Structure 1
Amino acid sequence: MAQLPLADLAQRLLRKPDHTLDPEERRVLDSIDSGTIVSRDAADEADARASVGDRLADRVAAIGGSWGFIIAFTLVLLGWMLLNTDVLAHFGMQFDPYPYIFLNLMLSTLAAVQAPVIMMSQNRQASKDRLAASLDYETNLRAELDILRLHQKLDGVVIERLAALEAKIDALSRPDALAKSDAGA
């Protein structure tokens, strides 16, 4: 029984058979049929769909792409170089002398781990953007269909009023109606 209104709405509003509807169009027509709203917050939807790895990738990307991280990392690098060049060299205890091979290994390892994590975060952001576009499409389609339905209702009201006015004009223009109106005057 629920398929009949959906098929009717699909044909009447979208001029498509219901078996050709996209999932977004089907959700919009279902919401029209049930009288519910269709708009949702894309951020909430994306957060609900996010896995632990997705949230972790977002946090790592947020930290790794911040000025605080860049400044702190620069200070650590300068401290490492200063420690291994001047301070520990003075006591003959430097563990990573110039050209800082161990530091280069640590930086390469960090870059090798951080780059894919940032790419995961970017992929998740692209997925969020696609979700937001899909939700925007649903909302826009619902608004457009509601406006179309309002136009149809208004057209129906206008046609009824015009028909009523036409009937009154016809009634007034008949000779017997004119005679009655002249006799009454």
Structure 2
Amino acid sequence: MKNLTHNKIIKEIIENVRDDMQDEEIIHLVLEKPISSNKQEKETYGQKIADKIAHFGGSWHFIIIFTVLLISWMVFNHFIKDSIDPYPFILLNLILSCIAAIQAPIIMMSQNRQEQKDRQRNENDYKVNLKTEIIIQDLHNKLDLILEELEKINQE
């Protein structure tokens, strides 16, 4: 039954169980798991921090602040006589590498969590759409029955 399109699945379910089940039971059969909410999940402290770092790291505020700090570091160390990090800025490169090494996995953790949220949201949307389609199909069948009855009445 996995290889069937969801339209075929809906039609097959409606045709096969029409006599035995009512429409609500059909909907619950198709939607085995209830539609879930992301608010049910409790976020850990680490997840909250990862989300905040990823949010700040992907903002214009971060880019502007980071650019100002880099330029300040380079200007300060270039024009000061006994600077801690002269021209090739080896210490600055080390600091930037460490920041990138720490920031990248944190952002990836946040992206993975967002992907899980998106996957759950898509699954919920699919379930709602499927339920709506089943209800519309049922209404369409009822309307067809009504039209058939009207046609019979008009022929008499």
TM-score by length of 1: 0.60
- 3-state SS, counterpart of residue 107 of structure 1: helix
8 Å Cα contact 1:10/1:29 also seen in 2: no
**For residue 71 of structure 1, what is the amino acid of its counterpart?**
I
**Aligned partners of 2:85 and 2:55: how far apart in 1?**
30
Relative to structure 1, the CA distance from residue 73 to residue 139 in structure 2 (aligned partners, 3 Å threshold; closer, same or farther) is: same
Which residue does 1:101 correspond to in 2?
90
Q: 3-state SS of the aligned residue for 1:98?
A: coil
| Matched-pair contact (CA < 8 Å) for 1:28–1:138 | no
**Structure 1 residue 135 and structure 2 residue 127: aligned?**
no
The letter of the residue matching 2:57 is G
Q: Which residue of 2 aligns with 1:72?
A: 65
CA distance in 1 between counterparts of 2:58 and 2:141 reads 53
The Cα of 1:31 is off from its aligned counterpart by: 9.4
1:81 offset after TM fit, Å? 1.6
| Larger helix fraction of residues | 1
User: Normalised by the size of structure 2, how large is the TM-score?
Assistant: 0.70
- Displacement of 1:50 in angstroms is 5.7
RMSD, matched Cα:
3.3
2:14 is the alignment partner of 1:13: yes
- 1:1-185 matches, within 5 Å, as 12-13=13-14, 15=16, 29-30=27-28, 45-49=37-41, 51-52=43-44, 53-87=46-80, 89=81, 92=82, 94-166=83-155, 169=156
Equivalenced residue count is 137
Residue segments in structure 2 that go unaligned for 5+ positions in a row: 1-9, 18-24
